[in-house]
Structure 1
Amino acid sequence: MLSSEPQSGLSTGRTLNRREGLHRYQRPPHGSAAHDAVLVLDPSPEENFGHPVVLFYVDVNVTKKRCSHLDGIYLAECLTLALKGRCQNQLKRRQTGPERFLGNSRLSGGGRGGPSGGRLLEQAIRGLCEVHFLPLVVAVGDRNRTQRLRCVHSEFARCPQLLPMTSTTSPVSSCELNKNTRRCHQQLLATHLSCRLYQTCDHAVLLSGWRQQVTFQRHAQNLVGFYRMLQNNGFHKDHIKTFFAGGGQLPDIEGVYSATEKAVIRNHMSYICRKQHCADTLVLYLNSPTRNDGAMLLWDANLNGIADLKERYSVNELLTDLAGCKATRVLLFVDQSYSGVLSKRLRGSQKHFNGLLNVTLAGAPCNATPPLTDIELRREYQGCQNLPTARWHQK
């Protein structure tokens, strides 16, 4: 459970009510964007963000009659369900209002045999304009837009361990990411050095992280664990590129870059795919928060809480970068919400050949007789292999 501090005059921010973005919520019925507090209930605290959460506006000094008129729930304070604006199911609000799942149970899970708290929350958001991420809650008049939403420990689940982010104190607001200006580049990634002459190698791209409040210790552990697994299968550290958070805060591994520039990420993957004989195996590990259309969220560089176009990596863009890839094999590990969107698109694509590969991660046969030794695996399949001149020039 997450809530803002009980201080008068908290708001989701005028920017969120005016611009089209990830956290664009419906304007409150009583015509004001300011509320006394904001309450967020997360029915799936162990899942990566991108799943539905329930968001309430909390207002004090509101009469029970007035609260009922606002289609709210009166519990000493008035709770009104916040929905995203401009969505198809918005008119269903009164049919499936918050009273259907709060009622007498008050999120206690009901009596014996009654539905659990998670099921009650699912009933609340089914068919509505679902909210999938934590909102940016700021105090009225706060020009620094400091996030006031805090996790409150409850019996339902413990608060997650946040990952310290040292770079979030300096948002990238002056950088013109859509223009080719030298000062916009926060990182140096010499992609052209990834492909060597007369050599083919195994390559990997790891992608994770959006905002500090939804980037946990386990996300860093996921990346480190996957990185170690790749190394154990012969992937060289120079060929594993990790894009994480705003400053690449992962001290335990090498080759970490910030996930602030979509162009850098896309250009790197496109280059590896387009270069003849560059990649034998290309592995992608995707562990970012995801919208319900499958789009991955890159780091919120300007810290405004809105997933701008330059901060989203859509399924269409990913498929474009991988279309006709010249790697011998491309393996996607999709450890995030709404992975079915990408899977469905891949199955129906004519530009991405999907076959059952009876090989290891490095391309070695799984049923070799006799089994390959560790020396044979390293020499013939893992890491990099030298190519004959004739094959290198073969189209």
Structure 2
Amino acid sequence: VLAILPDSYSSSGLISSKFRSAFGIGRLANGRESRHRYQAPFLASVSHDAVLVLDPSPSENFGHPVALFYVDFNVTKKRCSHLDGIYLEECLTQALKGRCQNQLKRWQAGPERLMEQGHSWLVGGAPRRATFSSQVSGRLCEVHFLPLVVGVGDSNRTQRLRCVHTEFSRCPQLVPMGSPSLPVSSCELNKNTRRCHQQPLATHLSCRLYQTCDHAVLISGWRQQMTFQRHVQNLQRFYRMLRINGFHKDHIKTFFASSGHNPEELEGAYSATEKAVIRNHVSYVCRKQHCADSLVLYLNSPTRNDGTMLLWDANLNGIADLKERYSVNELLTDLAGCRATRVLLFVDQSYSGVLSKRLRGSQKHLNGLLNITLAGAPCNATPPLTDSEMRRWYQGCQNLPTALWHRK
């Protein structure tokens, strides 16, 4: 099998043996160096008999360290030791991402320590829990995602990695997803079925004349293997919270999975396969004068250690291509100088500190949260505002005076 990581893409287009493998040890089990060159974006490590992944934090969103091991049979104990592996009748060698800093630094916790007890994802082998040294966290060569594990020569790239239930943690409940919709180019007029229909996002209808409203954008999901039922529940709960606080359903845009993959629980959600659509919508609501009173963003995607969000894997190659990742720089650009009265970011994902630090030091993102509610009402009004007053003056949409609208 071959293992492919979302962040194993190389902008140079070619990976040669001098950079070792795309994200692995760069050596065959028999000791020969890999001399093949791989054409991006499909980068793969040297093939191995099996792949074992140990997840020490199964309740956390991906973007946290996991331990990835290659398993090879018919390797001598001496040769396995030479490969810095552990010999358990078969050879177990740890994989790190290639082309990264600190690549030559050794993990303080060896394979023996990582195999003591617990929970795993694997193709072949027995499940154990991974235990990490505190000195390991933050190293740029760590693996932070479940890989796409495919058989050699499998053009369909079928995911062969499976979760094994242990005493440490139950396997997460995957989101049931139907067949993805056909590409728009494949939907001829005589095949105009519901699966071919894609509701476009009419962003220009989001802002109405002489009216300011509360808007929200919700983003989540990356491949079915890393998209669990709890992520759908997160979106549902946040959506309900917004509705309770007066947000109109037409002003809440949810981007999740791909067209045809959206579960029934997220009716009306848009696919997260088009980064341009997401960015254009956020930018438009921000740039349009008087459009947004409160602009709320809820982010719940797998995240790289630089804060970059992974959107849906549209081409199913297992690699987060440029169109499938939303960087902190891009998000800050879309929110820079936003004309919304206030912008609130709920960052329910790994490495949120990267975005938080950038915002604290920015002079282009000054409308942050003050001592007010989500809809902009004062927190300490005396006497307290009634529900009717909240709806009339703050929640949802309010009409604006014509003079204010036309003021330069």
Check whether the contact 1:173–1:302 (CA below 8 A) recurs between aligned residues: no
Q: Offset of 1:394 from its aligned partner? A: 1.6
The residue that corresponds to 1:29 in the other structure is 27
1:255 Cα deviation from its structure 2 partner = 3.6
Query: Aligned letter for 1:227?
Result: Y
Alpha-carbon distance between aligned partners in 2 of 1:196 and 1:252, rounded to the nearest angstrom = 29
In structure 1, what is the equivalent of residue 248 of structure 2? 236
What secondary structure, in the 3-state scheme, does the structure 1 residue paired with 2:282 have?
helix
User: Is the 8 Å Cα contact of residues 297 and 312 (structure 1) preserved in structure 2?
Assistant: yes
In structure 2, give the amino acid aligned to 1:46: S
The range that moved more, 266-275 or 164-173, is 164-173
> Is the 8 Å Cα contact of residues 218 and 253 (structure 2) preserved in structure 1?
yes
Deviations 1:226-254 (A, max 9, x none): 00000000000000000001126143344
The Cα of 1:13 is off from its aligned counterpart by 6.0
- Alpha-carbon contact 1:49-1:289 (below 8 Å) kept: yes
Structure 1, unaligned runs of 5 or more: 1-9, 110-115, 175-183
1:14 and 1:225 map into 2 onto residues whose CA distance is: 30
Question: 1:321 deviation in Å?
Answer: 0.4
> Aligned pair in 2 of structure 1 residues 104, 327: CA closer, same or farther (>3 Å)?
closer
Corresponding residue for 2:141? 129
2:173 aligned partner = 161
Q: Would the aligned equivalents of 1:11 and 1:137 in 2 still touch at CA under 8 Å?
A: yes
* Contact 1:50–1:133 (CA under 8 A) maintained in structure 2: yes
> What is the alpha-carbon distance in structure 2 between the residues aligned to residue 105 and residue 12 of structure 1?
20
CA contact 1:54–1:121 (8 Å) conserved in 2: no
1:233–1:361 CA contact under 8 A, matched in 2: yes
Given the superposition, is the C-alpha separation of residues 45 and 169 from structure 1 closer, same or farther in structure 2, using an over 3 Å criterion? farther
Which of 86, 111, 119 pairs up with 1:102?
111
Give how far 1:393 is off.
Answer: 0.8
Distance 1:127 1:154 in 2: 28
- Identify which of 245, 268, 289 aligns with 2:281: 268
The root-mean-square deviation of aligned C-alpha atoms, in Å, is 2.8
The alignment's TM-score, normalised by the length of structure 2, stands at: 0.83
Moved more, 210-219 or 119-128: 119-128
**Distance of aligned partners of 1:108 and 1:24 in 2 relative to their CA distance in 1, 3 Å threshold:** same
Closer, same or farther: CA 387–125 of 1 in aligned 2, 3 Å: closer
Rounded to whole Å, the distance in 2 between the matches of 1:300 and 1:73 is: 34
Q: Amino acid of the residue matched to residue 47 of structure 2?
A: A
Q: Out of 308, 320, 333, which is 2:333 matched to?
A: 320
Quick one: distance in 2 between partners of 1:172 and 1:293? 33
Go from structure 1 to structure 2 and tell me whether the alpha carbon gap of 1:121 and 1:185 turns closer, same or farther (over 3 Å shift): farther
- Alpha-carbon distance in 2 for matches of 1:199, 1:255: 24
Instruction: Read off the aligned partner of 2:3 and give its amino acid letter.
Output: T
In 2, are the aligned partners of 1:202 and 1:281 still within 8 Å (CA)? Answer: yes
CA gap of 1:387–1:169, structure 2 versus 1, over 3 A, is: closer
Q: Hey, what's the Cα distance between the residues in 2 that align with 1:105 and 1:290?
A: 24
1:136 shift after superposition? 1.1
1:111-169 alpha-carbon deviations (Å, 9 max, x no partner): xxxxx955446566674610111111111111111111111111111100000222448
1:4 maps to none
The CA deviation at 1:61 is 1.1
Report matched runs for 1:342-353 at 5 Å. Answer: 342-353=355-366
Question: Is 1:78 aligned with 2:91?
Answer: yes
Decide whether aligned partners of structure 1 residues 327 and 229 sit closer, same or farther in structure 2, where only a CA change above 3 A counts. Answer: same
CA deviation string 1:44-65 (max 9, x = no partner): 1000001111100000111111
Instruction: Give CA-to-partner distance per residue, 1:11-67, whole Å, 9 cap, x none.
Output: 22699988459x941353224611110000011100000111110000011111110
Whole-angstrom distance in 1 between the partners of 2:177 and 2:93: 33
Partner residue of 2:53? 40
Is the contact between residue 101 and residue 121 of structure 1 (CA under 8 Å) also seen in structure 2? no
1:11 maps to 2:13: no
Alignment map for 1:325-340 (pairs within 5 Å): 325-340=338-353
Aligned 8 A contact 2:308 2:325 in 1: yes
Partner of 2:385: 372
2:80 is aligned, of 67, 82, 98, to 67
C-alpha displacement at 1:377, in angstroms?
Answer: 0.5
* Corresponding residue of 2:290: 277
Letter in 2 for 1:201: C
Paired with 2:242 and 2:4, the residues of 1 have a C-alpha distance of: 43
| Equivalent of 2:71 in 58, 62, 66 | 58
For 2:272 and 2:184, the matched residues in 1 are separated by: 12
CA separation in 2, counterparts of 1:391 and 1:256? 34
1:145/1:375 Cα in 2 relative to 1: closer, same or farther (>3 Å)?
A: same
Shift of 1:354: 5.3
1:256 positional shift: 0.9
Q: Matched residue of 1:371: which SS?
A: coil
